[in-house]
Structure 1
Amino acid sequence: MELTRIEKRAASNLALPGAPSVGCLTVLVIAVGLLLLWEYASQTGLIPKLFYPPPSVVGQTLFRWFSTDEWQDMVLPTMKRLAVGFAMGATAGYITGMAVGYSQSVHRVIDPILSFIYPIPKIALLPLALVVFGLGDAPRQFIIALAAFFPMVFNTATGVRTINANYFAIGTVYGAPLTTVFRRILIPGSLPLAITGMRIAFNSAFVVTVAIELNTATNGLGHVVWLAWQTLRTEYLFAGIFVIALIGMLSAATLNFLHRRLIRWQP
């Protein structure tokens, strides 16, 4: 009897492949209900239409952007800055994290520097980056790279330190060269936390990208949102925020997928 109850409980927790869960449907119903309420309140004047344009107007703005070439001046510059800055910061952070986690000598030298720079808000370093790199995207990409660098360093270094010391002892016994130790022990052992660091690094880089574009760029999603606020084009404001949220959501889903594919042995 007890076994039957357990089997029924387990079966009730299983969902058919591709079938939407109750939680997803609940979120969808709530979201649609809020949009309809917002539409009604804005159209009837319950809330100021100037500040809270109806979702239908925001949707028309989005359709116009993506049915013409307007989206290229909004989305592509943001994605380019994000891609270049994140790639530089994550790569440098991974290499530095491997060195800091593996070598105590490197850790003693690098850790005080990281501890000094890390608490500084990365946006506060933008004027200095403008002085060093001049105008253009180089200073923006540098600040974005910094935002991605630190989460990658700390997570990768922690991942290396959590590797079982017996693996290194076995490598020493068999006379494994350093390249083999890195390829067979360090990289696989640190990968779970390194990928977690990559996800955090991407989120930090994306936030900094949009923040930088608010005041120092002439294109990109952040610039669109800031310009919309200055000119009270609130339909552009909400449309820009929607696109930013959509990019963030899709990026998070992609990184989660890569995490599951690369770390299949993790629960």
Structure 2
Amino acid sequence: MMKKSKVVLRAYLLGMVFLLLAWQLAASLVQLPIIPEPWLVFERLGEIFADKIAIHAAYSLWRIMAGIMLAVAVGYPLGILMGYFAKVDRYLAPLVYLTYPVPKIALLPILMLLAGIGEMSKIIMIFLIVVFQIVVALRDGIRAIPAETYYPLYSLGARFRQVFRYILVPATLPNFITAIRVAMATAVSVLFFTETFGTQYGMGYFIMDAWLRVNYLEMYTGIVILSLIGLLLFGLLDLMEGRLCRWQMK
């Protein structure tokens, strides 16, 4: 396990080095303020992180985590019920099919009218992006479980609680984590857009404010922090998958 962690860490570091080299090459070729050199950006980041960026990063991270936790609280039991009980799926599947394809960003004006322009509308937007991924992934994951997998527990008189604990949870964990991972990138992108409305905090607000002030160094520091937030979230998901889904890790 330790050896694999070192391999993963080395891969992350190599990826970061490659991106920094590509960034430096682009800055050297363009020679314009719109693409500053990486060392200038990181120098500026060190100067303003504690005083200016930390609060924006904290707000963005809180909104993402709150939206994901709300999506898990609603989507996980809903996906389990739809996958295991055919009658529940029969009634709820049409609702999911009708609402899932709707671009969630198109609902932002409605959310702002209903929930205001503050925190709640942004958290609900993240929730809407993630919850459908969870529901569909869990439902399809349960449907893929062979019927004979249930027979030993059924023969012992197991109830749904035992089936849920010993079959449904282990079988759907990979699908569950993958669903969150797939939705994460979209959630971060949409959060950037929503943070340009009705707030003074968040990485989206910070980046757009720096852009309007033609402060490209600070704009790039915001982009770097937003990327690091994504890296942190994906890293946590990989760690969770490595701990909880060891049987499928190679």
> TM-score by structure 2 length?
0.88
Verify the 8 A CA contact 1:98 1:160 in the aligned structure 2: yes
Report what 1:240 is aligned to: 222
Distance 1:20 1:167 in 2: 34
Q: For 1:1-267, what aligned pairs fall within 5 Å after superposition? A: 18=6, 27=15, 30-38=18-26, 40=28, 47-49=31-33, 51-66=34-49, 68-266=50-248, 267=250
Q: Which runs of 5+ in 2 are unaligned?
A: none
Q: Which stretch has the larger CA shift, 191-200 or 76-85? A: 191-200
Q: Which runs of 5+ in 1 are unaligned?
A: 1-14
User: How far is the alpha carbon of 1:98 from its aligned partner?
Assistant: 0.4
CA RMSD of aligned residues (A): 2.5
Larger radius of gyration: 1
Amino acid at match of 1:226: M
The percentage of aligned residue pairs carrying the same residue is 29
Verify the 8 A CA contact 1:199 1:255 in the aligned structure 2: yes
Amino acid at match of 2:31: I
Distance 2:13 2:83 in 1: 44
CA deviations 1:159-190 (Å, max 9, x no partner) are 11111211323322221112111112211222
SS of 1:69's equivalent in the other structure is helix
Per the alignment, do residues 102 and 218 of structure 1 end up closer, same or farther by CA in structure 2, a change over 3 Å counting?
A: same
Q: Which stretch has the larger CA shift, 211-220 or 158-167? A: 211-220
Verify the 8 A CA contact 2:118 2:198 in the aligned structure 1: no
> TM-score by structure 1 length?
0.83
Per the alignment, do residues 126 and 254 of structure 1 end up closer, same or farther by CA in structure 2, a change over 3 Å counting?
A: same
User: How far is the alpha carbon of 1:80 from its aligned partner?
Assistant: 1.1
